[in-house]
Chains A and B, each alone.
Chain A
Amino acid sequence: GEDVEQSLFLSVREGDSSVINCTYTDSSSTYLYWYKQEPGAGLQLLTYIFSNMDMKQDQRLTVLLNKKDKHLSLRIADTQTGDSAIYFCAESRGDKLIFGTGTRLQVFP
């Protein structure tokens, strides 16, 4: 179908790495995005990757893109309690963004 899919929940211990996975559908997507939503707030753009890249690193965040499998992942190193939020992946289709269901990351001490 046309869905961008993510698992709904992820729970990690503080200090560990978190890996949030996403599968998308449109092989012609130019950009793929990760957004973060904290409780009661809108979405903030965390990072994005251009479709001709395999990997992008930005401080504690690493994005991996497997175009063959249409798989995108976000790794958060040294996860902190402040990273607890919902994380959405999104793919660009023309001028629209199509979002996944969101993964709720819970970080426990």
Chain B
Amino acid sequence: DVKVTQSSRYLVKRTGEKVFLECVQDMDHENMFWYRQDPGLGLRLIYFSYDVKMKEKGDIPEGYSVSREKKERFSLILESASTNQTSMYLCASSLSQGSNTIYFGEGSWLTVV
């Protein structure tokens, strides 16, 4: 079974803190994605990566950065957390370009106070 693991399920951070959300997949997938999910807005793509050290901006990259130093790990970074970044963050991976199946992690609930 494919497993996408997000290390933190629930986090509470203060405004201005630097936040790291970690995601690991165990199926040697090339593509990895970070989405945020907000009520009434669905899932919006923040960043994605096709390969190690490669990254592409999604639809809402402002206020976020990412790191992909190893193929299995894709980190989402909030350099200076703000209250409007309170959300559910979902990591996902897929085998390769054109793959028709994307697998999701369980999600990380981030609250910024």
Is A60 interfacial (CB 8 A cutoff)? no
Assess whether A88 is interfacial by the CB under 8 Å rule: yes
Q: Looking across the interface, which residue of chain B has its beta carbon closest to that of A99?
A: B43
Which residue of chain B has its CB nearest to the CB of A5? B42
Stretch at the interface among A12-20, A67-75, A90-98: A90-98
State how many angstroms separate the Cβ of B31 from the closest Cβ of chain A.
Answer: 6
Residues of A in contact with B, size category:
20 to 34
The closest CB in chain B to the CB of A8 belongs to B40
Annotate A42-72 by CB proximity to B: 1 below 8 A, 0 otherwise.
Answer: 1111001000000000000000000000000
Binary interface encoding of chain A residues 80-109 relative to chain B, with 1 for a CB under 8 A from any of its CBs, else 0: 000000001010100111111110000000
Q: Which of B42, B48, B58, B98 contacts A88 (CB 8 A)?
A: B42
**Which residues of A come within 8 Å of B, CB atoms?**
4, 6, 8, 30-31, 35, 40-45, 48, 88, 90, 92, 95-102
Q: List the 8 closest A-B pairs by CB distance, nearest first.
A: A42-B104, A99-B43, A101-B42, A43-B104, A99-B42, A42-B106, A31-B100, A95-B97
